[in-house]
Amino acid sequence: MMNAGPARGPMAEINVTPLVDVVLVLLIIFMVTAPFLQGGLEIDLPKVASRGLDVREGLIVSVRSDRAVAVGNRVVPLPEFEDALSRAGAAQRPVFLKADHRVPYGLIVELIARMRRSGVASLGLVTEPPPREAR
């Protein structure tokens, strides 16, 4: 019997185009969803005109209007606040304090003092820009 063409063996090359397509789609999905994952507690921040901070690299300490305190995404009781800060590595990275505008000033000052005692060197206060006036 005669063959009409050369004998074909198994192809040894890997087609990476579908792999690249899938990786790019996953990259886009993660880039779009990453800002939403930073959630935490629902807080109504005070409105103050200031320069923006990049809070992605830091640890976020949140205080709700009912005085619930969270380190990162975990709500912690006040007596365990310093331990939670040290577990989260607050002394080695910047810490950002997000507090509801209805939280008493005395609680905020107490939390700042506790953070300083825990070794926090860089502390920032997070606010929202005021709404623009209609012209």
Q: Can you tell me the distance from the alpha carbon of 135 to that of 131, in angstroms, rounded to the nearest whole number?
A: 12
76 CB-near residues (< 8 Å, 6+ apart): 69, 70, 84
How many residues are listed for the chain in this entry?
Answer: 135
Share of the chain above pLDDT 90, in %: 16
How far, in whole angstroms, is CA 15 from its chain's centroid? 37
Mean pLDDT value across residues 24-50:
72
Q: Are 93 and 84 in contact (CB under 8 A)?
A: no
Encoding tokens for residue 131? 């709404």
All domains of the chain in start order, with CATH: 41-125 (3.30.420.270)
Name the pTM for this structure.
Answer: 0.58
Q: Are 98 and 63 in contact (CB under 8 A)?
A: yes
Residue 127's pLDDT is what? 77
| pLDDT tens column, 55-109 | 567 888 999 989 899 998 889 998 998 999 888 888 888 889 998 889 998 999 9
